[in-house]
A and B are shown apart, each in its own frame.
Chain A
Amino acid sequence: MKLLVPVKRVIDYNVKARVKADQSGVDLANVKMSMNPFCEIAVEEAIRQKEKGTATEVVVVSIGPVQAQETLRTALAMGADRALLVQTDQDLEPLAVAKVLQAVIAEEGPELVLMGKQAIDGDNNATGQMLSTLLGWPQATFAFKLEIEGGKAKVTREVDGGLQTLEVTLPAVVTADLRLNEPRYASLPNIMKAKKKTLDVRELASYGVDTTPRLKVLKVSEPAGRKGGIKVETAADLVDKLKTEAGVL
Chain B
Amino acid sequence: MAVLVIADHDNALVRETTHKTVTAALKISPDVDILVAGQGAKGAADQAAKISGVRKVLLAESDALGQGIAEAFEALVTPLMANYDAVLTPATSQGKNLSPRIAAKLDVSQISDVIEVVDAKTFVRPIYAGNALETVQSADAKQVLTVRPTVFQPAGEGGSATVESIDAGPGAAKTEFVSQELVKSERPELSGAKIVVSGGRAMGSAEEFQRVIEPLADKLGAAIGASRAAVDAGYAPGDSQVGQTGKVVAPELYVAIGISGAIQHLAGMKDSKVIVAINKDGDAPIFQVADYGLVADYKTAIPELMDALAKIGK
Mark A residues whose CB is within 8 Å of B.
11, 13-14, 16-19, 26, 38, 93-95, 98, 117-118, 120-127, 129-134, 137-142, 144, 154, 158-169, 172, 177-179, 213-223, 226, 228-232, 234-236, 238-243, 246, 248-249
Contact = CB atoms under 8 A, between A and B. Distances in A.
19 contacts: A14-B263, A95-B110, A125-B100, A126-B112, A133-B104, A138-B172, A161-B239, A162-B181, A164-B179, A178-B245, A179-B231, A215-B138, A217-B135, A218-B136, A228-B289, A236-B311, A238-B308, A246-B253, A248-B273
Nearest to A215: B136
Contacts of B134: 217, 219-220
B104 A144 contact: no
A248 B220 CA distance: 10
B167 interface: no
A11 B128 contact: yes
B305 A168 contact: no
B108 interface: yes
Interface in B203-242: 220, 228, 231-232, 237-239, 241
Contact of B178 (A117, A118, A124, A165): A165
Contacts of A232: 292-294
A17 to B, nearest CB: 4
Interface string B123-138: 0001111111111111
Contact of A179 (B97, B238, B273, B309): B238
A218 B135 contact: yes
Nearest to B101: A133
Contacts of B174: 137-138, 168-169, 172
A159 B97 CA distance: 9
B189 to A, nearest CB: 9
Nearest to B300: A235
Contacts of B294: 231-232, 234-235, 238
B46 interface: no
Interface string B82-125: 00000000001110111111011101111111000000001000
- Chain A interface secondary structure, helix, strand, loop or mixed? mixed
Contact of A130 (B104, B130, B288, B291): B104
Interface in B38-86: 68-71, 74
- Chain B interface secondary structure, helix, strand, loop or mixed? mixed
Question: Chain B: interface residue count, which band?
Answer: 35 or more
Contacts of A229: 275, 290-293
A48 to B, nearest CB: 18
Contacts of A127: 100
A125 B180 contact: no
A98 B105 CA distance: 12
B128 A129 contact: no
Please indicate which of the listed interface residues B239, B301, B314 has the most CB atoms of chain A within 10 Å of its own CB: B239
Given A139-B70, A162-B182, A214 B139 contact: yes
B244 interface: yes
Contacts of B274: 242, 246, 248
A18 B129 CA distance: 11
A169 B176 CA distance: 9
B147 interface: no
B238 A95 contact: no
Contact of B238 (A158, A214, A215): A158
Please indicate which of the listed interface residues A95, A134, A236 has the most CB atoms of chain B within 10 Å of its own CB: A95
B195 interface: yes
Contacts of B276: 238, 242
Please indicate which of the listed interface residues A172, A178, A235, A242 has the most CB atoms of chain B within 10 Å of its own CB: A235
